[in-house]
Amino acid sequence: MPGEEISMIEIPKRLLLEADQDKDVSGYVFPEETRHRIPILSDKGDVVGFMTPRKEGNAWRSGAIYVSKEHRGKGYASDALVNFFSNKSGRAYIDDSNTSSQGAFRKAGFKPSESAKKIEGLTQWVKEAATNKYLEKIAEHHPDDAAAVTLINKVTNPISWAAKIDLYGNTSTRVAALALNTLIREANKQ
The CA angle 20-41-102, to the nearest 5 degrees, is 65
Written out in words, the top-level CATH class of the domain with range 4-127 is alpha beta
| pLDDT at 148 > cutoff 60 | no
The domain ranges of the chain are 4-127, 133-189
Q: pLDDT per residue over 15-51, tens digit each?
A: 999 999 998 888 888 888 888 889 999 988 899 999 9
- The burial of 65, by beta-carbon neighbours within 10 Å (0-12 exposed, 13-18 middle, 19 or more buried), is given as buried
Residue 112 belongs to what H/E stretch?
strand 111-112
* Whole-number pLDDT of residue 36: 84
**Whole-prediction pTM value?**
0.63
